[in-house]
Amino acid sequence: MADLTTKYLGLSLKNPVIASSSTLTDNIESIKNLEENGAAAVVLRSIFEEEITMEAEHVVSQAVKEGYDEGLFDYFDSRVKQQNVDDYLDLILECKRQTQIPVIGSINAMSDHEWVYFAKKMVEVGVDAIELNMFLLPSDMRRTCDENEKLYFDVVNKLLKEVDVPVTLKMSHYFSNLGMMIKKLSETGLSGLVLFNKFFAPDFDINAEKVTPTYVLSGPRDIYMSLRWIAMMSDRVDCDLAASTGVHDGAGVIKQVLAGAKAVQVASTLYKNGPEQIGVMLKELEDWMNKKGYNSLDDFRGKLSYGKVDNPSLLQRVQFMKYFGTFTNK
């Protein structure tokens, strides 16, 4: 029987499939269900500073409309924050009480000090690791590339000084020198990097001529971005890499481990197929390993990474050239 265990962020996982941060991981019943279906760990739904601010603003504006003195709600955002933090910490405590799998807290803050505050609170109640859900859309015309990148390092360095649990960064691919950025971040002391975050993206409704949200779930074809970069970087980084976005089946897990991932994070496939999909993926992984004669994930982890693959230039190729030259239209 194949050994599916893996180490990620220093945590011992029974298999490489982690339920990633989503609404599936924002309540204890759903998390228990994920565990029962084989999830090796959960990343809790992010605590969003922006969401807290917006919630507070909404409450205050409603109250003012109803005749309340605005001064009464001078620091109401703090109260909302406190409530959100308390609820989040309660969820961590419930997870620790009712499940056996590691619990990873997730933070999305806007201000430097809030990253640390949220993280320290989570550590106080026993979270196993912290994932930073950090992203700055590089659209601020006043900020240079260096300044943007520095913000990531500032937050990471500050946080690593303050907390003593493993910290991972779920990052985007919006960097001008992504390979270097991944490498440099891995050298900060982070225990892991998650490649890559899936973001909300806008679309246009051409009839209404309005901006609308796109379909939010990923598909299996979305795996290729993270597959390329995990394969390119897994031999070159000083921390664990986990794959996210586009891992929908056992084949996806296998590919990412071949690329060098320590674990994969899944959400869209769980929305589409239910939590049972984790079991299906693990069965496919196990069957494949048995068929290939692998006893453990380490037997084939990184086998197709940049440093080990026979033709690494394929991982770097971005122009189609001959590939499309043989492609014919119907």
Pick 70 or 287: Cβ nearer other proteins: 70
Pick 115 or 196: Cβ nearer other proteins: 115
Pick 61 or 214: Cβ nearer other proteins: 61
Token match 């069965």: residue? 283
CA distance 183 to 234: 10
Token match 């649990």: residue? 165
* 85 part of the interface to other proteins, by CB under 8 A: yes
Task: Find out whether 225 and 250 touch, Cβ atoms under 8 Å.
Answer: no
168 by DSSP, 3-state: which?
strand
303 by DSSP, 3-state: which?
coil
Pick 75 or 199: Cβ nearer other proteins: 75
Task: Report which of 143, 158, 147 is spatially closest to residue 188, judged by C-alpha positions.
Answer: 158
Strands 210-213 and 202-205, by their bridges, are antiparallel
Among 29, 71, 142, 164, binds other proteins (CB under 8 A): 71
> Can you give 51-80 as a three-state secondary structure string?
HHHHHHHHHHHHHHHCCCCHHHHCCHHHHH
Task: Find out whether 174 and 181 touch, Cβ atoms under 8 Å.
Answer: no
CB of 101 to other proteins, least distance (A): 28
Among 68, 153, 199, 204, binds other proteins (CB under 8 A): 68
Pick 71 or 293: Cβ nearer other proteins: 71
* 157 part of the interface to other proteins, by CB under 8 A: no
Task: Find out whether 44 and 92 touch, Cβ atoms under 8 Å.
Answer: yes
Among 66, 164, 205, 310, binds other proteins (CB under 8 A): 66
CA distance 103 to 14: 13
Among 1, 29, 97, 113, binds other proteins (CB under 8 A): 113
Question: How many amino acids of this chain bind other proteins (CB under 8 A)?
Answer: 29
CA distance 279 to 211: 38
Among 79, 150, 161, 272, binds other proteins (CB under 8 A): 79
DSSP result, 91-135: HHHHHHHH--S-EEEEEE-SSHHHHHHHHHHHHHTT-SEEEEE--
* 57 part of the interface to other proteins, by CB under 8 A: yes
Among 12, 82, 296, 316, binds other proteins (CB under 8 A): 82
* 61 part of the interface to other proteins, by CB under 8 A: yes
Q: Which pair of tokens denotes residue 19?
A: 């339920």
Stretch that binds other proteins, among 29-37, 108-116, 204-212, 243-251 (CB under 8 A): 108-116
* 315 part of the interface to other proteins, by CB under 8 A: no
Stretch that binds other proteins, among 6-14, 65-73, 211-219, 320-328 (CB under 8 A): 65-73
CB of 242 to other proteins, least distance (A): 28
Pick 60 or 258: Cβ nearer other proteins: 60
Interface ranges with other proteins (CB under 8 A): 57, 59-61, 63-64, 66-76, 78-79, 81-82, 85, 111-113, 116-117, 120, 162
